[in-house]
Amino acid sequence: MLDMNTLLGIVALASLSSHVISGQQCECPASMCPDGWVTFRGSCYYVSDNVSVDWTEATHHCTAHHAELITIQNADEDKFIRSLLERYYRTGGQHPGQEFWIGANDLMIEGVWEWYTDNSSLEYSGWYPGQPGSEGDEDCAVIASRSDVFNGWHDAPCAAKHHPICEISPRQTIDQIIG
Ligand SMILES: *[C@@H]1O[C@H](CO)[C@@H](O)[C@H](O)[C@H]1NC(C)=O
Ligand SMILES: *[C@@H]1O[C@H](CO)[C@@H](O)[C@H](O)[C@H]1NC(C)=O
Ligand SMILES: [Ca+2]
Ligand SMILES: [Ca+2]
């Protein structure tokens, strides 16, 4: 059971970190993210463009970086991450057809897409028109480049090899701070 000092400590820690974790308002300082990660609205992101793994390995890859495979909660985050990928294209000279894993799948119930981090349903989704397009054998989601731009999500076979995008979300930051 918590004594008063412990409780006050938790409250103090929570308020101390509130400028970090009020992610929807602030563009948080890049110093809060690990080197090489990009910050947007309180989350940190890393595009593992030199790693090609299946969807489950992609989740493990992000866990190894103390992160999660990206969850995209709204249109702003989707737009941000697509423009981040566009930047990789311009600087890296990569080709259309690249696909990047995101943390959504319909492995539990065909056609019912969830974020693997908490099994929540997709309140926002950025499917390309006609997607998700395949029943049964395509149960994991990617952001894909078509016609030179990253213009939507597609369902893909979970065993395919694609690049992970990892995210450290404000929620994880809270978990780490208050343990
Ligand atoms: C990918 O690039 C990162 C950053 O340069 C590096 O730390 C990592 O070892 C590379 N991974 C592979 C599989 O080459
Ligand atoms: C999601 O649901 C599965 C199946 O019920 C369960 O094994 C898993 O622990 C759940 N994951 C989370 C993060 O709640
Ligand atoms: Ca997110
Ligand atoms: Ca499916």
Q: What is the pLDDT of residues 91-136, one digit of tens each?
A: 666 666 789 999 999 999 999 999 999 999 999 999 999 999 877 7
Contacts of 124 (CB under 8 A, 6+ apart): 72, 73, 74, 75, 78
Contacts of 149 (CB under 8 A, 6+ apart): 82, 86
Residue 80 domain-assigned (yes or no): yes
In terms of residue numbers, what domain contains 123? 27-171
Residue 99 domain-assigned (yes or no): yes
Residue 37 domain-assigned (yes or no): yes
Sign of CA dihedral 78, 79, 80, 81: positive
CATH number of the domain that 122 lies in? Answer: 3.10.100.10
Residue 133 domain-assigned (yes or no): yes
Q: Ion ligand 3 — residues with CB under 5 Å?
A: 71
| Residue of 109, 112, 119 with the most ligand 2 atoms within 8 Å of its CB, for mutation | 119
pLDDT tens-digit map of 39-89:
999 999 999 989 999 999 999 999 999 999 999 999 999 999 999 998 877
DSSP state of 126: -
Amino acid present at 151: N
Residue 141 domain-assigned (yes or no): yes
How many Å apart are CA 29 and CA 32, to the nearest integer? 6
Residue 18 domain-assigned (yes or no): no
Cβ of 118 less than 6 Å from ligand 2: yes
Residue 179 domain-assigned (yes or no): no
Residue 4 domain-assigned (yes or no): no
**Cα 169 to middle of ligand 2, angstroms:** 19
In the chain, the number of structural domains is: 1
What pLDDT is recorded for position 177? 60
Strands, DSSP E only, in the chain? 38-40, 43-47, 68-69, 99-109, 112-115, 120-121, 140-146, 149-156, 163-168
Contacts of 16 (CB under 8 A, 6+ apart): none
The pTM of the full predicted model, rounded to 2 decimals, is 0.81
